[in-house]
Structure 1
Amino acid sequence: MEPNPVLAYGRWIAETPAEWPAAALEAAQKAFIDTIAVSVPGACDPAARLVFATVKDWGEGPSAAIGTGARLAAPWAALVNGTAAHALDFDDNFDPAKAHASAVLVPAILALAEQEGSSGMACLDAYVAGLQILGRVGQGVNPTHRNRGWHATATVGAIGAAAACARLLRLDERQAGHAISLATSMAAGFMSQFGTMAKPLHAGLAAKSGIVAAGLARSGLTAGLGTLDGVRGMNRLMVGADYEHLRDGLSHVEHGQTLRFETRHVGEPLLILSSGLKAKRFPNCGSAHRAQDGILELKQRHGFGPEDVEAVHVRAPVSHLDNLMYADPRDSAQGKFSLEYGVALCLVTADCRLDDFSDEAVMREEIRAFYPLIHRHPVDKAEGEFPTEIEIRLKDGRTFETAVAMPKGSIAAPFGMEEYWAKYDGCVAGLLGPGESERLRETLAQLPRLASMAALMAVLAEPFASQSE
């Protein structure tokens, strides 16, 4: 047993056999399908385009920048593709870390795999291993880290990406440990960037940092061993000076978030199976999804229309409502972080789709008219302690209520493969031609058996994003 988490995680990355349960590899493959699907329209987002415009002249390389026709050095491709993966906020969530894990891990792994000529199975292996370390680090600093305003996708994500890249490069335990440590020096990102272009950039920065950290470690660059739990480690600097008081006073633990870095049983349980990933049903902040699921459930069950509604009351954990900070959104980015917009969409249109998140769509008067009817009621409890409660009062005096503990797409209500492919089809429609869409789909289905990622990335390398101009 190694009590130092940097060394423990480095050893686990280096020494754990690539003998994962079939269910873990299937879950990893679904994460690749989902992330690549949302990256196709994400590559057309202004944030992703601006990132590409910035880095495109910094040097050619082996790795495709999705939808641009350009190939860049692996870190820059990961920066562009990570931004694209998170640009629409349609990518998955991972509860142990309170982070968007796949939007960081998949772009980092793909860019590095193109550089190294890695197989599809090696990429799935790197994903499972990287996700485990991403989760373990997240459990060591959360829930306080994120509750105090750090964007864990950017901070914990960079460390998880370094672990995945160290695994893909087959670093030894000391090198892998140094990669993890180096990534802590690149871990940054504030939740105050939500609703701006900087928010999806965080995923790109974390993906890029993972490749850089692992590459530096492979070259022999060393780093400190106290960067996670030392006197000036991540726990005390990015949780707070009261870290030990908070850790010792925990009375309720969710998602394994104990404010302790697990070093005795790093790989048990395997988090990709025990916690799972939350695939998104809607392309907006996941904190709104329980309420949106509840609205659609009540509409389907009771058959009322938007014209019948007098008031909507949403009781939800304060952390969820804090994420949904725009009560009167004015553009598409703010609309993604608005409870009012998500709920009103489900009331009026009985859906929430990609095309609902343009600046023009967010300002539709028929949607905005419902904002005064939607009332927030923050509850000072964690999400596992309190489900989102939705109460709808109709003009005829009837009242309907429901409570949603876990959204559609979570481990409690998981997507089947057919739902992943339906989401894929919706994402790529109009951007990939029928032939390209089918070829990419077939390649993704064969991911565990690919000798290299060349066939997969060949379709994504084409400049399909220009078709949306």
Structure 2
Amino acid sequence: MPSTDATARVAAHCAETSFAGLPADVREKLKRHLLDYLGVTLGAREHAESTSSILAGLGGGEGGEATAIGTGERRAPDRAAAVNGALAHSLDFDDTHRESSLHPGAPVIPAALAVAEREGATTERVLAGVSAGFDVACVLGRAVNPDAHYDRGFHGTATCGTFGAIAAAGVVAGLSADEFESAFGVGGSQAAGSLQFLSNGAWNKRLHPGLAARRGVTAASLAAAGFRGADEAIEGEYGFLNGYTGDPNPDAFDRLGDEYAVMETALKPYPCCRYMHAAIDALTEIGEQIPPSAVNSVVVDLPEPGVRLTGDPIERKRRPSNFVDCQFSMPFASALALSTGEAGLEAFLDAQTRLDDPDLRGLMDATDVVSTETVQSLFPDQWAARVVVETDGGTHERFVETALGEPEKPLGWDGVTEKFESLARSSGVGEDARRELVGVVREFEDRSVADLTDAVRRAAVAAP
């Protein structure tokens, strides 16, 4: 791998990031991602089976300087960040960045908010920290090469997300460039996250961004206290790129500072693996035109990484046994979309009670997942899908290049607010509390962090 000064460049970028330098459209996009984060975190409190164990295992009881979004409890900043990051990813409904193939918001936003509460930082500094965190997580994801990173068994949201969380926490804490280098040096010894959860539908994946957020708070705190971290944490002989990928792309760092990663990041309309979304868009459209009983076969063409995550081994993907299995099963999503015409959270949850239903199983058995040059050639710039459904009455084919929620087809304020309302309402948050949270986020740079956390606590207390 060519020698680079990647760590120093990333540290300088973080130290130079400021709210004043963020364009207006970037500020608005950051706030939409903040509202989405609050919605998926509140939703997980009610709908994720893993939540009680996460709260008990990561919480550490009452007392502290930061707020756990799902409960309103005060906790130590690193523990609040861990709980919030884990809940934000527990429904797999959080934002995604396609080129880096990771979820930046879940590790980044909790780290920024936890440190902001501890430091008494402004909301402007929070937004700057979140922006830097997205930039760093996503540039690391590009540099490590998502395919090669996955091939080694790593989950990019956990590994690259650790560096993004450090960036967010460090900007909020006001680290210097030298302190950022030390913080990243600490992060290089912590970045972890295995894909082994795919073997049994384990909850590890939900935990990954929470642990990354906690690592971000810890690394930034150590650096601020004068701790000396390893140098060249990213590009060194035993650094991140050499250890975590067999095909690094150090040229990715040349783009750092030229664009804002949040502007390239999607918001999800469906609570499942993002590789499946373009196909779901196509299948729901087809499902509106044909009865599910008429389906003879379904072929879903995805990028190769999407097949590995959601279609291989096909026999197991056709028999999901829990919510996590369903989130990573293209046959399940195909059967759901064709049988109900929907694939939102409510549809996913409702289907959990009928995984043995013969009609649903029949549609899963009829679904094959493949990858062809037509779709793979567009990856990673586009996570496209081609769907062919054979029925008694003929062939129905759709090609979707860009899924709903991507920057090219964004969920604007109306779409994000609707998603937030649905998640918060289903978690028992009342209308007044929902309206207050939306209002605080919409005006975030003119409000305080305490305004947000006070609203969060009122929402948590008001819910059953």
Structure 1-normalised TM-score?
A: 0.90
Instruction: For residues 259-313 of structure 1, give each alpha carbon's deviation from its aligned partner in whole angstroms, at most 9, with x where no partner exists.
Output: 115455530133333xx1111111111111111111123344xx22212222111
1:84 match: 87
Moved more, 12-21 or 377-386: 377-386
Q: Distance in 2 between matches of 1:175 and 1:102?
A: 23
Structure 2-normalised TM-score?
A: 0.91
Q: Which amino acid aligns with 1:39?
A: T
> In the comparison of the two structures, how many residue pairs are matched?
445
Which of the numbers 416, 420, 424 marks the counterpart of 1:420?
416
1:107 match: 110
Going from structure 1 to structure 2, the CA distance change for 1:440 and 1:204 (only over 3 Å counts) comes to same
Moved more, 8-17 or 223-232: 8-17
Q: Which amino acid aligns with 1:77?
A: A
RMSD between superposed Cα atoms in Å: 2.1
Q: Does 1:456 align with 2:452?
A: yes
SS of the residue corresponding to residue 111 of structure 1 reads helix
Q: Which amino acid aligns with 1:159?
A: F
SS of the residue corresponding to residue 61 of structure 1 reads coil
Shift of 1:463: 7.5
Going from structure 1 to structure 2, the CA distance change for 1:299 and 1:158 (only over 3 Å counts) comes to same
1:340 match: 331
1:174 match: 178
Q: Distance in 2 between matches of 1:331 and 1:264?
A: 42
Conserved 8 A contact 2:59-2:83: no
1:26 match: 28
2:306 match: 320
Conserved 8 A contact 1:137-1:261: no
Structure with the largest fraction of helix: 2
Shift of 1:226: 2.4
Q: Distance in 2 between matches of 1:285 and 1:68?
A: 27
Q: Distance in 2 between matches of 1:319 and 1:107?
A: 28
2:161 match: 157
Shift of 1:111: 1.5
SS of the residue corresponding to residue 98 of structure 1 reads coil
Q: Does 1:266 align with 2:263?
A: no
Q: Distance in 1 between matches of 2:137 and 2:60?
A: 32
Moved more, 2-11 or 307-316: 2-11
Q: Which amino acid aligns with 2:207?
A: L
1:142 match: 145
Q: Percent identity?
A: 26
2:71 match: 68
Conserved 8 A contact 1:331-1:360: no
SS of the residue corresponding to residue 391 of structure 1 reads strand
Q: Does 1:349 align with 2:336?
A: no
Q: Distance in 1 between matches of 2:255 and 2:103?
A: 24
Q: Which amino acid aligns with 2:366?
A: L
Q: Does 1:9 align with 2:10?
A: yes
Going from structure 1 to structure 2, the CA distance change for 1:127 and 1:362 (only over 3 Å counts) comes to farther
2:436 match: 439
Shift of 1:28: 0.8
Conserved 8 A contact 2:384-2:401: yes
Conserved 8 A contact 2:62-2:73: no
Conserved 8 A contact 2:430-2:463: no
Shift of 1:357: 3.6
Where does the alignment leave 5 or more consecutive residues of structure 1 unmatched?
A: 241-245, 248-258
Q: Does 1:199 align with 2:199?
A: no
Moved more, 65-74 or 384-393: 384-393
2:43 match: 41
Which of the numbers 150, 171, 191 marks the counterpart of 1:187?
191
Shift of 1:334: 0.9
2:233 match: 227
Q: Does 1:429 align with 2:425?
A: yes
1:288 match: 276
Q: Distance in 2 between matches of 1:95 and 1:449?
A: 31
Shift of 1:68: 2.0
2:54 match: 51
Shift of 1:40: 0.5
Q: Distance in 1 between matches of 2:58 and 2:286?
A: 47
Shift of 1:351: 0.3
SS of the residue corresponding to residue 369 of structure 1 reads helix
Q: Distance in 1 between matches of 2:195 and 2:402?
A: 23
Conserved 8 A contact 1:97-1:156: no
1:126 match: 129
Shift of 1:46: 2.8
Conserved 8 A contact 2:318-2:361: no
Q: Distance in 2 between matches of 1:76 and 1:227?
A: 25
Moved more, 93-102 or 352-361: 352-361
Q: Distance in 1 between matches of 2:411 and 2:70?
A: 27
Going from structure 1 to structure 2, the CA distance change for 1:17 and 1:280 (only over 3 Å counts) comes to closer
Conserved 8 A contact 1:92-1:280: yes
Q: Does 1:215 align with 2:221?
A: yes
Shift of 1:17: 4.3
SS of the residue corresponding to residue 232 of structure 1 reads coil
SS of the residue corresponding to residue 461 of structure 1 reads helix
